[in-house]
Amino acid sequence: MSTRLKNGGRMIDRTKPVDFMWNGRKLSGFKGDTLASALLANDQMLVGRSFKYHRPRGIMAAGPEEPNALVNLGSGDRFEPNQRTTTTELFQGLTAKSQNHWPSLEFDVGAVNKHLSRVFPAGFYYKTFMFPRFAWKHVFEPIVRQAAGLGNVPTDRDADRYEYFYHHVDILVIGGGIAGLAATLAAGRSGATVMLLEQTADFGGRAVVDGGEIDGKPVQEWVGDTVAALKELPNVTLRPRTMGAGVYDHGYATGYERVNDHVPGDGRPRHRLWRIRTKRIVTATGAIERPISFAGNDIPGVMLAGSVRDFMVNHGVSLGDRVVIATNNDDAYRTAIAVKTAGLQVPLVVDARETVTGELPEQARAMGIQIATGTAISSVKGGKRVTAVAITPQNGTGHVTDEIACDIVAMSGGWSPVVHLWSHCGGKLNWDAEQAMFRPDGLRPPFGADGQGFVLVAGTANGYLDMAKVLHDAVAAGKRAAEEAGFQPSDEAVPLVDTKAESPILPVWTMPQVQSAKLQMKTWLDFQNDVKVSDVRLAAREGYESVEHTKRYTTLGMATDQGKLSNINGLAILADSLNAEIPQVGTTTFRPPYHPISFGAIAGEARGDIFKVLRRSPIHDWIDQNGGFWEPVGDWRRPYCFQKPGESVKDAVHREINQTRNSVGLLDASTLGKIIVKGPDAGRFLDMLYTNMMSTLKVGRCRYGLMCTENGFLSDDGVVARLSEDTFVCHTTSGGSDRIHAWMEEWLQTEWWDWEVYTANVTEQFAQIAIVGPKARQVIEKMGLDGLDVSAEALPFMAFAEGKIADIPARAFRISFSGELSYEIAVPAARGQAFWEAALAAGAEFGISPYGTEALHVMRAEKGFIMIGDETDGTVIPQDLGLSWAISKKKDDFLGKRAQQRSHMTDPNRWRLVGLETVDPQVVLPDGAYAVDGTTRANGIKNMIGRVTSTYWSPTLKRSIAMGLVEHGPERMGDIIVFPTVTGEEIKTKIVDPVFYDKEGARQNV
Amino acid sequence: MLLLTCPCCGVDADETELAPGGEAHVTRFGAGASDDDFEGYLFHRKNPKGVHFERWRHAMGCGKWFHAARATDTLEVFGTYSAQVLAPPKDLIEKIKLKRPDWEGF
């Protein structure tokens, strides 16, 4: 069993017990524990079930590489699934529950899956996607959905807040082990500003656990002194509990700070995302121990050798009474010595190497530890806990020579440098065959804006496992980073270390070297995704030779740990299966973040009301207080309609239309884009921008215009008014003002930069209010006019005039998007509310009513006016919409002209705009419905000949109306075409003129 | 995340402040152009591994367009310059040639 040792545990404070809940039971640990160490101190080795086969799984590692021990953490609005016990600091009142089992952790029905492993091989999902076709939907998917999934989904809104920090620094050091500390000191003493990130709460890393002396002091003391020295430097920032999450182009990096996960709800933000710009990055990220692939290596109690001593040294936790060590290198002997020193038993060290003569093994021998050389574990015995190991010669095929009782197997397959951050931006790796590891190739770094490498690697992350070499490399990296950042490097000396000579590692990818098929089926590579040696070999046999393909086919390395433990093992086995060398197979791509970070940290403060900036028209608050039924339009909100108490949305829309058509209505059109175009060449410029001729527009007049892209497609429309000889105001769609202003600037800055034209986007400077309907003129006259005349004679259709209305400076445009007599009146934004209220007061006797966007839409559709985004979708040209009248034939050129001459654009078979009248006037066509002609295309689908672009119930005409694009439509007036619906009915529809109401335009021209 | 110096306002701008505008120094062909010329203008763009001249807009800053000479393989930035020119400045071309002797030239 695992338990707390009487002594030891450098991180824990035995005077401060901490209570926590595990699966509803109250347990106790100490301040300084992780959840993992506290669980182990309470003999909770079994902590979860595996993803696919529901195998019992225990804690395997002591750090972020842990694949198994993921739990549902917290409750209510602080509940979060898939939290790693090994990186969760214990706090009073912590609650955690194990995942992926039913009904209980100890007894799990889903464990039956493990007997089905033959039917869940590599590529299971892909194979079942393929055939038989019905089987996926009706047989496999329901089963898989039931069984799959790790933690539970949170249901409550997150109680915490999150934030970004932006930081600029000369040098960023990632990793606060001895290499990171030494590099930071060397760089910091050169005068550069340096930031050091450490993912855990403490500095020092593995070296503190492994012991030894630096500069004649115990490692822990040296670490303490160095941290103190760094805190003395004003140019150095130390950031514990902050993980270097990602390295990006040109010296950008992200740090993920877990500010108060260990003291939840203390009022501070929970996580902080550091967005760091730096000249040089030093990654001192250490290494992660590899498991060894032997049968039963996933049974609870099989752990990484380094982690076994981490728990003993850091937390005073004994994992078991009898610890068998399985290794191919000298480092694991540190664990053997630590276990033996703690008074526990090491029945055997199983070492795959034939000769074992390093200083550490000799020390172990001297302590009476038995070492079996040239030996392997054939299989591990046990179910929910290790009970014994079967021993076999490493060079054999698994013939069992001995069985040894034990409750822990501490395995070490060697160490893999953490190269992720080096690789995020394209740093290349070399295979070091002697040390059996991929390590950074300093000659092929990620490059910065200056063409120089901007990431340096230091210490173990650079492939140095010996402490003396680590410190030498780290000090050199710190100095080099300072020099490259433009500082005179310090003369910081390399600390002196006396290290033990280690014998070379023997690459061991499976134990024994040749595994029977039966053993391969029980030998895990990816513990979280349940990928076994047999799966990788099957993938290779089925032709998956690329490591990227094998990864996706088997799901090796695709779990939340991203293959930190076993990717090298997996690709070594793939290489072996393909008879290739490991560097030929290569690694999969390393992508940020290094380790999962919270969505909260990514979102930062951008949630709720400040998720996205909301633009408000000057009338926004009035609309909000007077029944406005909001809908998003671009960055704005506009009222869909104004609901009266007890009124349905539909009834409100119909009421607004009837009121406007019969008397007078009021529309807030302030969101329409307004761009001033000014200068001697303004007319010439607009002639290029619009399909129409704008340079001939008379001062005081308006013209409706179309804008196209160079592809010829319709991009925006609106009314242009000429304010003076050299000044125009261009109205754009509500969503288009920023885009069209940018479009104008692009042409002026990059193509016609010698033209004298200036633009200004004044959309927000003006409120624009439309007074619409037969009584519109009377309302305006009643508001009080000063300096302008709005009579039909003085201000005809498509003209504008300036003056004062209701004592407010105003520009009144006689333009209409409804077909009614209409004035769109621009007033200074700050006077918009006052103008709105004056119009309401003056119109009261006519029953004036504000109307929303839906009434606007219906009224424009009744008149056959197109709407950008309804009738257009980025593939429609003006000619499709019957707008050839708005395309100038006199102009030599305009944007889109040449494209509209391309063969596809002049094809008579293009779908073109028509009106659509359902034969049954009560039936409204579904938006987007397609018309069919009864024939079938070569691929078996019905042949489509058109689609609905706008469709409404018209309260004016008391029938359904629609517009659509139909093949040969304008030539087929009166024909009946058929629109099938999703429910299987067919709607018979007559092709008609798109102008349904007041074809002569008599109503707007009064 | 790229860092480009805006030649208009002098700011070292993060990529999030910038909007990309594709290949620089593309000649516009409008009405009257041949099918081949127009096709080339509308659709054909260089995609080199190495030196590339690009258009960028300091969209979240001064709003001005500018040109950048950049290596697409290493992301090295050789320089940024005005958008109101038809070809890269001579000294920039010389600088790139020194750094990349095998570059075919503008």
A306-351, pLDDT tens digit by residue?
Answer: 999 999 999 999 999 999 999 999 999 999 999 999 999 999 999 9
Residue A100: predicted pLDDT: 73
Residue A144's pLDDT band (boundaries 50, 70, 90)? low
ipTM given for this complex = 0.98
Are A773 and A665 spatial neighbours (Cβ–Cβ below 8 Å)? yes
Q: pLDDT band at A371, cuts 50/70/90?
A: very high
Confirm whether A512 is domain-assigned: no
| A122 in the same domain as A1 | yes
Q: Write out pLDDT tens, residues A529-549.
A: 889 999 999 999 999 988 999
Per residue in A172-199, pLDDT (tens digit) is 999 999 999 999 999 999 999 999 999 9
**Per residue in A280-315, pLDDT tens?**
999 999 999 999 999 999 999 999 999 999 999 999
How many residues belong to chain A? 1006
Domain end residue (candidates: A157, A174, A193): A157
User: How many of the other CB atoms lie within 10 Å of CB of A830?
Assistant: 11
Q: Mind listing the pLDDT tens digit for each residue in A63-106?
A: 999 998 999 999 999 999 999 999 999 999 999 998 877 667 77
- Whether residue A185 contacts residue A226, with contact meaning beta carbons closer than 8 Å, is answered with yes
Alpha-carbon dihedral of residues A580, A585, A586, A592, nearest 10 degrees? Answer: -150
Q: Read off the pTM.
A: 0.91
Residue A506 lies in a domain: no
First vs last C-alpha separation in chain A: 95
Nearest CA in chain A to B39: A899
Q: Does residue A145 surpass a pLDDT of 60?
A: no
**What pLDDT was estimated at residue A135?**
66
Residue A8 belongs to a domain with what CATH number? Answer: 3.10.20.440
Inspect the interface and report whether the beta carbons of B76 and A449 lie closer than 8 Å. yes
Q: Verify that A56 and A23 share a domain, yes or no.
A: yes
- State yes or no: pLDDT of A128 exceeds 80: no
**Do the beta carbons of residue A759 and residue A674 sit within 8 Å?**
no
* pLDDT the model gives residue A117: 62
Instruction: Tell whether A613 is covered by a domain.
Output: no
Q: How far apart are CA A712 and CA B55, in angstroms?
A: 22
A730 & A811 share domain: yes
In Å, what is the CA distance from A435 to each residue of A439, A445, A516? 10, 21, 27
Of A986, A888, A984, nearest in space to A933 by CA: A986
Which residue, A78, A80, A79, A53, is CA-closest to A68? A53
Percent of chain A with pLDDT over 70: 95
A900 closest CA partner among A709, A679, A638: A709
Tens of pLDDT, residue by residue over A877-927, are 999 999 999 999 999 999 999 999 999 999 999 999 999 999 999 999 999
Q: Give the pLDDT score at A99.
A: 84
CATH number at residue A360: 3.50.50.60
C-beta of residue A206 within 8 angstroms of C-beta of residue A65: no
Query: CA–CA separation, A26 vs A307, rounded Å?
Result: 26
- What's the average model confidence in pLDDT over A385-403? 94
Domain, as residue range, for A302: 291-413
Domain B3-99 has CATH 3.30.2270.10: yes
Rounded to whole angstroms, how far apart are CA atoms A886 and A912?
16
Q: Mean pLDDT throughout A773-791?
A: 97
Q: Is B26 on the interface with A (CB under 8 A)?
A: no
Instruction: Name the domain count of chain A.
Output: 6
Q: Tell me: do A885 and A912 sit in the same domain.
A: no
Res A559: pLDDT: 84
Contact yes or no for A393/A401 (Cβ under 8 A) = yes
Per the domain annotation, does A586 fall within a domain? Answer: no
CB contact under 8 A, B57 and A448: no
pLDDT for res A103: 62
Q: pLDDT tens across A563-601, in order?
A: 899 889 999 999 999 999 999 998 888 999 999 999 999
> Does residue A607 sit within a domain?
no
* Residue ranges in A323-394 assigned as alpha helix (H): 332-341, 359-366
- The Cα–Cα gap between A570 and A540 comes to 11
Residues of B in contact with A753 (CB under 8 A): 83-84
Largest CA distance in chain A: 114
* Same domain for A816 and A745: yes
Quickly list DSSP for A856-897. Answer: HHHHHHHTT---TTTT-SSS--GGGGT-GGGS-SS-S--TTT
What was the pLDDT predicted at A143?
61
Q: Nearest C-alpha of chain B: how many angstroms from A233?
A: 28
pLDDT of residue A151: 78
- Which tokens sit at A504? 């070379």
The CA distances from residue A325 to A86, A330, A379, A499, in Å, are 22, 11, 13, 22
Q: How big is chain B, counted in residues?
A: 106
Domain boundary among A138, A157, A176: A157
A728 within 8 A of A682, measured Cβ to Cβ: yes
Asked if pLDDT for residue A873 goes beyond 90, the answer is: yes
pLDDT of amino acid A915: 98
**Looking at the structure, do residues A259 and A351 belong to the same domain, yes or no?**
no
The pLDDT-based confidence of A140 (bands split at 50, 70, 90) is low
Distance CA A519, CA A533 (A): 9
Query: Which residue from A minimizes the CA distance to B35?
Result: A902
Q: Which of residues 39-78 of B touch A (CB under 8 A)?
A: 41-42, 55, 57, 59, 63-65, 71, 74-77
Average pLDDT across chain A, whole number:
94
- Say if A491 falls within a structural domain: no
As a three-state string, the secondary structure of A495-556 is: CCECCCCCCCCCCCCCCCCCCCHHHHCCCEEECCCCEEHHHHHHHHHCCCCCHHHHHHHHCC
* pLDDT at residue A689 is higher than 90: yes
- Here the tokens at position A573 are 């086995």
CA distance B48 to chain A (A): 17
Best residue in A898, A900, A905 for a mutation probing chain B (most B CBs within 10 Å): A898
- Residue B65 to residue A750, Cβ atoms within 8 A: yes
At residue A250, φ and ψ (nearest 5 deg) are 60, 40
Whether B30 and A711 lie within 8 Å, measured CB to CB: no
Sheet of A822-828: strand order equals A785-786, A800-805, A808-813, A822-828, A766-772, A665-668, A849-850
Residue A146: predicted pLDDT: 56
Report in angstroms the alpha-carbon separations of A726 from A696, A705, A721, A982.
12, 18, 11, 54
Backbone φ, ψ for residue A696 (5° rounding): -90, -5
Helix, strand, coil abundance in chain A, percent, nearest 5: 30, 30, 45
For the record, the structure tokens of A581 come out as: 């060398």
pLDDT at residue A364, as a whole number: 97
What's the pLDDT at A102?
63
pLDDT of residue A381: 96
Structure tokens at A797: 């259709």
pLDDT of residue A142: 63
Nearest chain A alpha carbon to B77: A449
A698 and A762 share a domain? yes
Is the pLDDT score of A148 beyond 60?
A: no
Q: pLDDT under 70 in chain B at which residues?
A: none
Q: A978 to each of A197, A952, A970, how far by Cα in Å?
A: 66, 18, 16
Terminus-to-terminus CA distance in chain B, angstroms?
26
Name which of A250, A254, A889 to mutate to probe chain B: the one with the most chain B Cβ atoms within 10 A of its Cβ. Answer: A250
Pairing of strands A25-31, A13-22: antiparallel
Residues A409 and A442 in one domain: no
* Burial class (CB within 10 angstroms; exposed 0-12, middle 13-18, buried 19+) of A368: exposed
* Sequence ranges of the domains in chain B: 3-99
- The owner of tokens 């078996």 is A940
Buried b or exposed e, range A963-999, using 16+ CB within 10 angstroms:
bbbbbbbeebeeeebebeeeeeeebebbbbebbbbbe
Query: Any idea of the CA torsion for A339, A341, A345, A347, to the nearest 10 degrees?
Result: 80
pLDDT of A398 > 90? The answer is no
Which chain B residues are closer than 8 Å to A710 by Cβ? 41-42
Are A458 and A552 contained in the same domain?
A: no
Whether A472 and A496 have beta carbons less than 8 Å apart is answered as no
Considering the domain architecture, whether residues A735 and A845 belong to the same structural domain is answered as yes
Res A237 pLDDT > 90 = yes
Angle separating helix axes A682-689 and A737-750, nearest 10 degrees? 110
Tokens 């008379």 locate to A698
Check CB contact under 8 Å for B75 and A250. yes
Select from A790, A721, A700 the least CA-distant residue to A1006. Answer: A790
The share of chain A scoring above pLDDT 90, in percent, equals 87
B32 near A CB under 8 A = yes
Q: Are residues A759 and A688 in the same domain?
A: yes
Mean pLDDT of A30-56: 92
Residue A309 host element (H or E): helix A305-315
